[in-house]
């Protein structure tokens, strides 16, 4: 029946707008299976608000979570474009190139770019 990790969606982001995001590494305690997921929402005023929501959800599934950094996502669903940029003051800058690769798996028909620009 596949692993529980496969049941965790790789990407959960708002369908439109500009908002904070974090890159999170899920790992089974003691190593082994791991994967990186992207979470972002306008509802989060700060990056740690996103982590504080994701962490308990993932712990219930038996994963340890580590935030690899954050930034912002500009999601334009009309033009099918996503831009990843910026950084998190608390967690540092995520590796946006990794984030883009994850986003491409889900938003296959989008133009997805990243930069180290602050805005």
Q: Which strands make up the sheet holding 34-41, listed edge to edge?
A: 11-13, 34-41, 17-27, 64-76, 81-85, 111-114
- Burial classification of residue 89, based on how many CB atoms lie within 10 Å of its CB (0-12 exposed, 13-18 middle, 19 or more buried): exposed
* Residue written as token pair 């033009």: 79
Q: Is 49 a catalytic residue?
A: no
Single out the catalytic residue among 47, 49, 75, 96.
47
Q: Using an 8 Å Cβ cutoff, are 68 and 23 in contact?
A: yes
Residue 72 annotated as binding site: no
**CA dist list (Å): 22 to 2, 3, 51, 78, 119:** 26, 23, 8, 23, 16
Annotated binding site for substrate: 20
| Residues annotated as part of the active site | 47
């Amino acid at each position: 029946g596949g692993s529980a990790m496969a049941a965790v969606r790789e990407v959960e982001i708002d369908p439109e707008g500009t908002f904070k995001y974090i890159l999170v590494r899920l790992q089974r305690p003691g190593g082994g299976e791991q994967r990186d997921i992207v979470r972002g929402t306008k509802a989060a005023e700060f990056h740690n608000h996103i982590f504080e929501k994701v962490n308990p959800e993932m712990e219930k599934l038996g994963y340890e979570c580590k935030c690899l950094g954050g930034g912002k996502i500009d999601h334009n669903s009309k033009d099918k474009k996503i831009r990843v940029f910026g950084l998190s003051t608390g967690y540092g800058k995520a590796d946006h190139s990794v984030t883009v690769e994850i986003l491409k798996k889900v938003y296959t028909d989008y133009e997805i770019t990243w930069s180290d620009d602050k805005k």
